[in-house]
């Protein structure tokens, strides 16, 4: 039996959310029983809307833990073969096609994974993500890759994202020049939509191995389909355990009553907090392994919930502002502001019950009382105590905060975390009465970039750009 099939293991790995310090019993400005009562109608409406969204196919991502069972076996087989041949695995993707793969890999694997010997990596290739189009980044990446032994995973749902596709163009050209067209094709694996977009056609014509993103699954909700499963499997993450963790949390988050549903409660607290003038949502993991989880969450939260219009077409300019922080590092950077600055934030700590490694602090400097007290303790004690102390100090300063604890960081708990925040995001979208699954606000910049690059079909935007008034030199110093 795999460990995630054992109910005892599953229950011992359940993520727990403690929101005491979000409430008025802990902080004067916290969420009070009256606030909960005032939000009840919105919460009931949102809970009733969730099954409707599912029926409309807007939440196909929720079914990924079960719908991807078959493809995950195909991915595992593919990864088992590919790892024999490749020494490096490079994701070409951006946004929802990059942040999840980065977050999961960093959470589950050794923090110096790429520096380990191949044997210590379990025979899996090194892992890189090329998301930005900073010209230095990709160019320098070539310095450390042996192209013959590198597998490139082009991930794009739309197949038209300029960043990803321009990187693919560079790599395809370079691979074909160095290896020849036929050999080059076996160093490329594509993840895209089955029917729509240019990439699916390119993949078919190029003979590239292709995995498909289910139709109703948008970028930032796609980590648990081949977008995230293939990169995870390629660096040795147990993707079946990841999916099992997500399924476990999904069952917990299917409870309509928010007091029993951590995703609904998380969204509700944020929704009420926003109404109480706290639009800033700080995600502060106290574990390096979860650092990129805050990046993944920031995109999910910002792109899904930052919307100009509500469903009725009214201008609402809604949305929380996610901020990423890292404990304890940012205690020496941002916590001063959180403690004494404006009451405009909610701070979410991610805590870890048991770290996978321990470092004991030896009893040295015994004659220096300001340091001697540390001796005999461990770093996991220190990080946990510092988190608890910061939580306490913020509560004393009247700052709303909550703690989500992962008993341990592993594929099962990471799967839970992904599903928890995805369901919370969808529920928060319903509370705000906005569409959490589109991103019209990014189109303006994209279209202007297309026009500046002379893409056919964007002549009107180009004309509009050309007609804009020149910048005033007096405002440039």
Query: Which residues participate in catalysis according to the annotation?
Result: 303, 332, 446
Q: Contact, 391 vs 404, CB < 8 A?
A: no
- Measured from the CB of residue 216, what is the shortest distance to ligand PA5 in angstroms? 13
- Measured from the CB of residue 256, what is the shortest distance to ligand PA5 in angstroms? 27
- Measured from the CB of residue 157, what is the shortest distance to ligand PA5 in angstroms? 4
Interface with ligand PA5, residue 219, by CB under 6 A = yes
303 or 433, CB closer to ligand PA5?
A: 303
The span from the CA of 106 to the CA of 40, in Å, is 38
Q: Identify which range of 89-97, 317-325, 328-336, 366-374 contacts ligand PA5 by CB under 6 A.
A: 89-97
Interface with ligand PA5, residue 220, by CB under 6 A = yes
Q: Which of residues 231-290 bind ligand PA5 (CB under 6 A)?
A: none
- Measured from the CB of residue 96, what is the shortest distance to ligand PA5 in angstroms? 3
Instruction: Identify the residue among 58, 83, 157, 291 touching ligand PA5 (CB under 6 A).
Output: 157
Question: What are the C-alpha distances in Å from 302 to residues 294, 320, 339, 465?
Answer: 12, 7, 24, 27
Instruction: Identify the residue among 158, 254, 378, 435 touching ligand PA5 (CB under 6 A).
Output: 158
Q: For 17, phi and psi rounded to 5 degrees?
A: -115, 120
What residues form DSSP beta bridges with 164? none
Q: Contact, 50 vs 253, CB < 8 A?
A: no
User: Any residues with CB less than 8 A from the CB of 3 and at least 6 apart, and which?
Assistant: 9, 241, 412
- Measured from the CB of residue 218, what is the shortest distance to ligand PA5 in angstroms? 5
19 or 421, CB closer to ligand PA5?
A: 421
405 or 425, CB closer to ligand PA5?
A: 425
The span from the CA of 236 to the CA of 233, in Å, is 5
Q: By rule CB under 6 A, what string of x and - marks binding of each residue 407-446 to ligand PA5? A: --------------------------------x-------
Instruction: Identify the residue among 30, 96, 322, 415 touching ligand PA5 (CB under 6 A).
Output: 96
- Measured from the CB of residue 167, what is the shortest distance to ligand PA5 in angstroms? 11
- Percent of residues in the chain assigned helix, strand, coil, to nearest 5: 55, 15, 30
Interface with ligand PA5, residue 172, by CB under 6 A = no
Instruction: Identify the residue among 65, 100, 218, 327 touching ligand PA5 (CB under 6 A).
Output: 218
- Measured from the CB of residue 287, what is the shortest distance to ligand PA5 in angstroms? 25
Question: What are the C-alpha distances in Å from 296 to residues 97, 104, 302, 303?
Answer: 10, 9, 10, 11
Q: Identify which range of 42-50, 116-124, 216-224, 412-420 contacts ligand PA5 by CB under 6 A.
A: 216-224
In this structure, the dihedral spanned by the alpha carbons of residues 315, 23, 301 and 306, taken in order and rounded to 10 degrees, is 10
Tokens standing for 232?
Answer: 């995870």
For the sheet containing 280-285, what is the strand order?
A: 16-18, 401-406, 345-352, 280-285, 321-324
Instruction: Identify the residue among 21, 68, 72, 97 touching ligand PA5 (CB under 6 A).
Output: 97
Interface with ligand PA5, residue 161, by CB under 6 A = yes
62 or 399, CB closer to ligand PA5?
A: 62
- Binders of ligand PA5: how many residues, by CB under 6 A? 14
Q: Contact, 405 vs 15, CB < 8 A?
A: yes
Interface with ligand PA5, residue 320, by CB under 6 A = no
What residues form DSSP beta bridges with 150? 88
The span from the CA of 3 to the CA of 86, in Å, is 29
303 or 422, CB closer to ligand PA5?
A: 303
Helix, strand or coil for residue 399? coil
Rg of the chain over CA atoms, in angstroms?
24
Q: Identify which range of 101-109, 128-136, 154-162, 308-316 contacts ligand PA5 by CB under 6 A.
A: 154-162
Residue with the two structure tokens 């019950």: 353
N residues, the chain? 477
**Cα 380 from chain centroid?**
25
- Measured from the CB of residue 427, what is the shortest distance to ligand PA5 in angstroms? 18
Instruction: Identify the residue among 131, 250, 303, 330 touching ligand PA5 (CB under 6 A).
Output: 303
- Measured from the CB of residue 186, what is the shortest distance to ligand PA5 in angstroms? 23
97 or 405, CB closer to ligand PA5?
A: 97
Q: Calculate ∠ Cα 96-99-105, nearest 5°.
A: 135
State which residue has the least CB distance to ligand PA5: 219
Q: Which of residues 22-41 bind ligand PA5 (CB under 6 A)?
A: none
The span from the CA of 422 to the CA of 59, in Å, is 10
Question: What are the C-alpha distances in Å from 73 to residues 67, 229, 474?
Answer: 12, 10, 62
Helix, strand or coil for residue 394? helix
Q: Identify which range of 20-28, 93-101, 128-136, 253-261 contacts ligand PA5 by CB under 6 A.
A: 93-101
Q: Calculate ∠ Cα 67-203-231, nearest 5°.
A: 50
Phi-psi region of 95 (alpha: psi -120 to 50; beta: other; left: phi over 0): left
68 or 161, CB closer to ligand PA5?
A: 161
Instruction: Identify the residue among 72, 153, 164, 289 touching ligand PA5 (CB under 6 A).
Output: 164
Which residues contact ligand PA5 (rule: CB under 6 A)? 94-97, 156-158, 161, 164, 218-220, 303, 439
């Amino acid at each position: 039996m795999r460990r995630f099939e054992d109910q005892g293991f599953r229950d011992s790995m359940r993520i727990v959310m403690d929101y005491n310090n979000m409430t008025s019993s802990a902080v004067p400005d916290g969420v009070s029983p009256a606030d909960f009562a005032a939000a009840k109608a919105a919460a009931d409406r949102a809970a009733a809307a969730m099954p409707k969204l599912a029926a409309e196919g807007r939440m196909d991502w929720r079914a990924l833990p079960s719908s991807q069972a078959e493809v995950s076996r195909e991915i595992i087989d593919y990864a088992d073969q590919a790892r024999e041949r490749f020494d490096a695995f490079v994701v070409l993707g951006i946004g929802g096609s990059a942040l999840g793969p980065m977050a999961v890999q960093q959470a589950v694997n050794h923090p110096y994974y790429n520096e380990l010997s191949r044997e210590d990596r379990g025979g899996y290739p090194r892992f890189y993500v090329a998301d930005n189009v900073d010209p230095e980044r990709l160019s320098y990446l070539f310095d450390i890759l042996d192209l013959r032994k590198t597998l490139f995973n082009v991930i794009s749902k739309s197949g038209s994202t300029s960043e990803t596709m321009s990187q693919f163009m560079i790599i395809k050209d370079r691979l074909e020049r160095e290896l020849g067209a036929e050999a080059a094709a076996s160093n490329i694996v594509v993840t895209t939509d089955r029917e729509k977009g240019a990439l699916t056609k390119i993949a078919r014509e190029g003979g590239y191995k292709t995995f498909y993103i289910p139709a109703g699954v948008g970028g930032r909700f796609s980590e648990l389909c081949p977008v995230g499963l293939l990169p995870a499997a390629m660096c040795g993450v147990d993707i079946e355990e990841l999916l099992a963790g997500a399924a476990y949390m999904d069952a917990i988050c299917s409870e309509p009553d928010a007091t029993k549903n951590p995703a609904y409660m998380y969204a509700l607290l944020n929704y009420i907090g926003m109404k109480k003038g706290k639009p800033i949502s700080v995600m502060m993991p106290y574990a390096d392994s979860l650092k990129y989880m805050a990046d993944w969450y920031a995109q999910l939260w910002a792109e899904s919930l930052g919307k100009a219009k509500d469903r009725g077409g009214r201008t609402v300019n809604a949305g929380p502002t996610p901020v990423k922080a890292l404990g304890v590092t940012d205690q020496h950077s941002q916590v001063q502001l959180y403690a004494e600055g404006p009451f405009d934030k909610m701070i979410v700590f991610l805590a870890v019950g048991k770290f996978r490694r321990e470092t004991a602090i030896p009893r040295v400097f015994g004659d220096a009382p300001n340091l001697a007290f540390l001796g005999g303790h461990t770093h996991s004690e220190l990080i946990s105590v510092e988190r608890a102390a910061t939580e306490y100090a913020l509560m004393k300063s009247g700052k709303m905060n909550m703690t989500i604890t992962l008993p341990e960081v592993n594929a099962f708990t990471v799967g839970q975390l992904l599903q928890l925040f995805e369901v919370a995001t969808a529920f928060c979208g319903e509370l705000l009465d906005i569409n959490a699954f589109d991103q019209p606000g990014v189109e303006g910049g994209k279209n202007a970039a297309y026009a500046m690059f002379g893409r056919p079909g964007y002549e009107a935007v180009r004309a509009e750009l050309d007609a804009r008034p020149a910048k005033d030199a007096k405002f440039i110093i």
